[in-house]
Homo-oligomer: A and B are copies of this chain.
Amino acid sequence: MAKAGKQNRQDVVEKATNLYWEKGFHGTSMRNLQDVIDMRPGSIYAAFGSKEGLFKEALQYYTQQGFAQLTALKSTTGSPLKGLKAFVEMAVIDSQDSAPSGMCMLAKTISELTEENAELLAEAKSLLHKIELSFAATFIEAQAFGEVDKEKDAKQLARSLQIQIMGLRTYTRVNNDNKAIKEMIDTLFLAFSDVKK
């Protein structure tokens, strides 16, 4: 492939991402992938090297899409903090029904894999760290915007948000009580925007 067959590389990676996201690394077979992305083994191996190689690219694509969404939401809401909140609501609530899995794909990967797939594990950790950095950057923007108390440590807020998202997404898979979850997110962001008067 490379130079565009019926579909370009991004379409293929997106389909693979959705399957891996739903079923996990070990739960997805190369034959599952062949069916979904409509490519024969030889082409897949020529383009991605291995099951691990394609998974790694899927992790990267997933993360990149997340960045794009956060950026878009900050723009459409016209505010860093509102954008961030919309992003969390989307990830925690909306994705339970519409996404391949209610889980964050990176958290799911970190939960699933062991040192037997050290490189993929490291990649997932690294990407999650980058997301945390972008949360921190968003909090700093929000502070400049006057939405968040400037006394607060953006890094600490980002870490805390990361933990909340992971917890909420897992919990929502167990007990999908939309109303209660929505309230918890509201409370969480009220705490973030607790500007000293």
**Residue positions of A touching B, CB distance < 8 A:** 22-24, 26-27, 101, 103, 107-108, 110-112, 114, 116, 125, 128-129, 159-160, 162-168, 170-171, 173-175, 180, 184
Contacts and interface: CB of A to CB of B under 8 A. Distances in A.
Q: Is the interface of A mostly helix, strand, loop or mixed?
A: helix
Given A24-B26, A27-B26, A170 B166 contact: yes
Chain copies in complex = 2
A15 B56 CA distance: 32
B180 A114 contact: no
Contacts of A166: 166-167, 170-171
Contact of A164 (B23, B125, B159, B163): B163
Given A166-B166, A175-B129, A27 B112 contact: yes
Given A129-B175, A159-B180, A163-B164, A110 B27 contact: no
29 contacts: A22-B114, A23-B114, A24-B24, A26-B27, A27-B114, A27-B116, A107-B111, A107-B170, A108-B112, A110-B170, A110-B174, A111-B111, A111-B112, A111-B170, A112-B112, A125-B174, A128-B174, A129-B174, A159-B171, A162-B167, A163-B167, A163-B170, A163-B171, A163-B184, A164-B167, A165-B167, A167-B168, A167-B170, A170-B170
